[in-house]
Amino acid sequence: MRNFLSILLVSLLLSSCATSPTGRSQLVLIPESEMDQMGRQAFTNLKEETPVNQQTTTNNYVQCVADAITRETGGSWEVVVFKDDAANAFALPGGKIGVYTGLLEVAENQHQLATVIGHEVAHVQARHANERVSQSLAVEQGLNVISAIASPQSGAGQSMMGMLGVGAQYGILMPYSRIQESEADMYGLDLMARAGFDPRESVQLWKNMARKGGDQPPEFLSTHPSHNTRINDLAARLPLTLRLMNQAQQRGRRPDCGKL
């Protein structure tokens, strides 16, 4: 039984290995076509449930920034501004971008908005949603196998499953989520710089977020890097991204989306 499970697991991992834009190995089990379909359906549901902002100036501004970013990735992207006070945005497989109006109160200019949209698009380009689904699937199935071997009906088996559940939550899924967030920060910063936006504004954007967000949980229990970690990592990458920005602007990439 154990030999069979080991062979099955190795075969699954070998056939499902992918590489992120930063060269990190990924477990990707779901076909991209299915992820795209899930993303499109989720976006349709959200548009039905959440009010959509209809202001022309707001939509043109957000569309302008998003177009500059996605020109670097290719593909067709739908952009929607939602009426919501949350300082947030998202991108989904299937070419969908959502921006909440609350973010426009925190992102003070096109460069700061590009920081967030670049970050979210980077999640899609790096297949992070697929990776998270695949990790959850792998952990769930792994725990089911362990449960069968450990005889979960017994007190010892139930105790083991409880400990494994905590281990899976903090030892596997959450660290990967922090890695994904940091990876999206770095790749997203490269995207915005290649589009001609000023990456130096990313640092100010996250300072704005820190002021708005207030207290955070300890970083080791968070799926996001702390604001200080994020700011320091972005600042360290500025020499590279400033070169990317200068090269982009020399090629005529000079976004002029204005400011609301």
The pLDDT assigned to 163 comes to: 42
* C-alpha to C-alpha distance for 159 and 48, rounded to whole angstroms: 43
Give the model confidence (pLDDT) of 91-109 as tens digits.
Answer: 999 999 999 999 999 999 9
Give the model confidence (pLDDT) of 108-133 as tens digits.
Answer: 999 999 999 999 999 999 988 888 87
CB atoms within 10 A of CB 253: 18
* C-alpha to C-alpha distance for 86 and 99, rounded to whole angstroms: 9
The pLDDT assigned to 49 comes to: 87
Question: What's the distance, CA 156 to chain centroid?
Answer: 38
181 is catalytic: no
- Catalytic option among 72, 120, 181, 183: 120
